[in-house]
Amino acid sequence: MEILFWLLPIPLFFLFGLRLPLLTEIAILALFALSLDLILGYAGIVSLGHAAFFGLGAYTAGLLAVHGWGEPITGLLAAGAVATAAGFVSSFLVLRGSDLTRLMVTLAISMMLLEAANRLAWLTGGADGLYGVTMWPIFGIFEFDLYGHTAYWYSVIVLFISFVALRAIVNSPFGLALRGVKGNPLRMRAIGAPVNRHLVKAFTIGAGFAGIAGGLLAQATQFVSLDVLAFHRSAEALLVLVIGGSGAVYGGILGAAAFRVLQEWLSGITPQYWQFWLGAGLIVLVLFARGGLIGLWRALVRRLHRTRDEEAR
């Protein structure tokens, strides 16, 4: 089942050869959502400013390439490293106080970065965006082509590697401890778990992967705009998790695919007003289908099992 899922990019490559940029975007969005899921779905920290780390990664990778270091993989690692560092520092601000305080502090951090990127136009290009991102070939062999073939495979492979890493993290004892913290922080503290250290760790790792996702976007599209730090990007990641289901590793990927396809379809029908339907869908999901696609899938599997059990009897 899982192998089949990860083989999907191959037929998709041949079926939608002309829509590869869209598929690349889905992979990047999926990675971004996965990184948020570690923070939200596993650690239970509600963040409205996850785009801060995405944007930091994007600008790091973009600026490196503009200033003469276009090697993609080290660029990506640098993007992750910068975002990780920022995540570590800001986690101490974020983890104080209640849900509401966390919401506001994360939001404020991303707004401050957005404002900074806007003001530092000599560095980031400001509202015009960062042009002149030229990437060297990956491993010196695969050049980024006009059709987006390389960008596609590159994004899918980075997504896969990050996915494996994130899954290993959530299934490790640390991941279990996180779920414990989310479920009942008081009790976790009582049995001697270092709750705050776990949360700091989760926030830092999540920020790092968001940075990698941002770096990936910068390298794949060879352009960075202020948009990478905007509020709607943080909201989008939340949405993806709601659609897909949070606290489940495949939720982010399914959600990202569903979200981008929906967005593409809706903006085809009503260009510029697709946000309306997005909002309507969000409200319906919250009111009626709180597990997302993964939740529906699990309910379906459970029902199948039940009928099979009954037949066996």
Contact residues toward another protein (CB under 8 A) are: 40, 46, 48, 93, 96-101, 103-105, 107-109, 111-112, 115-116, 119, 231-232, 235, 238-239, 242, 272-276, 278-283, 285-287, 290
Strand partners, 224: 130
- Pick between residue 121 and residue 164 the one whose CB is nearest to another protein: 121
- Pick between residue 18 and residue 283 the one whose CB is nearest to another protein: 283
Distance CA 246, CA 224 (A): 28
**Shortest distance (Å) from residue 293 CB to another protein:** 15
**Shortest distance (Å) from residue 66 CB to another protein:** 24
Counting Cβ atoms within 10 Å, is residue 135 exposed (0-12), middle (13-18) or buried (19+)? buried
**Shortest distance (Å) from residue 225 CB to another protein:** 17
- Pick between residue 107 and residue 258 the one whose CB is nearest to another protein: 107
**Shortest distance (Å) from residue 269 CB to another protein:** 13
- Pick between residue 153 and residue 259 the one whose CB is nearest to another protein: 259
- State both tokens at 128: 């015009």
- Pick between residue 290 and residue 306 the one whose CB is nearest to another protein: 290
**Shortest distance (Å) from residue 77 CB to another protein:** 29
Single out the residue of 107, 105, 148, 126 nearest to residue 59, CA to CA. 126
List the alpha helices (DSSP H) in the chain. Answer: 2-7, 9-15, 20-37, 51-66, 72-94, 99-119, 121-124, 149-171, 173-183, 185-190, 195-221, 231-244, 249-269, 274-288, 292-312
